[in-house]
Amino acid sequence: MVGPILIFDSGIGGLSVFEPIHSQLPHHDIYYLFDNARLPYGDLNEQELIRGCVELIIKQVRQINASIVVVACNSASTLVLPELRKQLTIPIVGVVPAIKPAAQISKTRHIGLLATPGTVARQYTQDLISSFAGGCNVTLVGSSELVLIAEAKAKRQTVDHAKIADILTPINSTDLDTLVLGCTHFPLLRQEIDEALTHKVVLLDSGDAIAARVMSFIDTNENDSTDIQGTLKAGYTKEIDAGLKETLADYGFTQLEYIAVAN
Ligand code: DGL
């Protein structure tokens, strides 16, 4: 059996990418690595973000002998991919906001991007918009608070619905019909976001596209040759509470470990 797929995020957001990958590859070992000591990434400066992610991912790839890395974080992907590709020879899959499909399906020609402040401000987001959504009006909303609300939900704490409605005000006051969830944390709040929207909006994320990309690197003979379920392990950089452990167990992660990192 080949080494595990390593899925990386700052927090629990990568679980929205883990789900479609695991449902297609139930026999494959998966290691979910999250850097909760430094969350939220959307507020970190670029150099700090790159340094910490690259060190942590490379250390863990070597430790577990990973066969593929999935950077399941929009805020980190475009920044860390070039350095990871320089230092590793295994496939590295990243994630970008689903601007292109959103522009293709929007009828009002008005789309939205709900992401972290870092993603909303980056040049690559501007480039995606000019390349693929040139004919559309694009409303950008950046929020780290929504990331923390998703984290709270995963810890089984109360979800602040009024706060979500407040964050979505710039979207509710427009005629946009398609909203890109450009942060992997946000599909975990899909129902809450949907409920807070005051008109019909299609919500798009990149989970299935990333799973398809991962599948393109998998030897399907290998994948089908066993009935044994893959082992699911998770590692984090700051101790987690009982609520989050329960949530991870619900996803199938029963082997958990703390990974010490320098600050
Ligand atoms: N889940 C991440 C993303 O897709 C990062 C959230 C954060 O730590 O700010 O952007």
Q: How confident is the model at residue 117 (pLDDT cuts 50, 70, 90)?
A: very high
From 147, 181, 204, 237, give the residue whose CB has the most ligand 1 atoms within 8 Å, as the site to mutate: 147
> Which residues have CB under 8 Å from 255's CB, separation 6+?
231, 232, 233, 234
Q: DSSP string of 208-258? A: HHHHHHHHTTS-HHHHHT--SPPPEEEEESS---HHHHHHHHHTT--EEEE
pTM of the full predicted structure?
0.96
For the chain, the domains span 5-95+208-258, 99-205
Q: What is the CB-side half-sphere exposure of residue 118 using CA atoms within 13 A?
A: 24
| C-alpha radius of gyration, the chain, whole number | 18
Domains 5-95+208-258 and 99-205 equal at CATH topology level: yes
pLDDT, one tens digit per residue, over 123-165 is: 999 999 999 999 999 999 999 999 999 999 999 999 999 999 9
Q: Is 73 in the pocket of ligand 1 (CB under 6 A)?
A: yes
The pLDDT assigned to 224 comes to 59
β-sheet with 110-115: strand ranges across: 137-142, 110-115, 178-181, 202-204
Topology of the domain covering 5-95+208-258: Rossmann fold (3.40.50)
Q: Which residues contact 32 (CB under 8 A, 6 or more apart)?
A: 7, 14, 15, 18, 232, 233, 234, 235, 248, 253
Q: Give the C-alpha separation, 98 to 44, whole Å.
A: 23
Count CB-CB contacts under 10 A for residue 80: 24
| Of the candidates 227, 236, 244, 242, the residue with the CA atom closest to the CA atom of residue 261 | 236
80, 183, 214, 248: the catalytic one is 183
The CATH topology of domain 99-205 is Rossmann fold (3.40.50)
Specify whether 183 is catalytic: yes
pLDDT given at position 226: 67
In this prediction, residue 237 carries a pLDDT of: 98
Is residue 223 pLDDT above 60, yes or no? Answer: no
Q: Is the pLDDT of residue 17 over 80?
A: yes
Residues 31/5, Cβ–Cβ less than 8 Å: yes
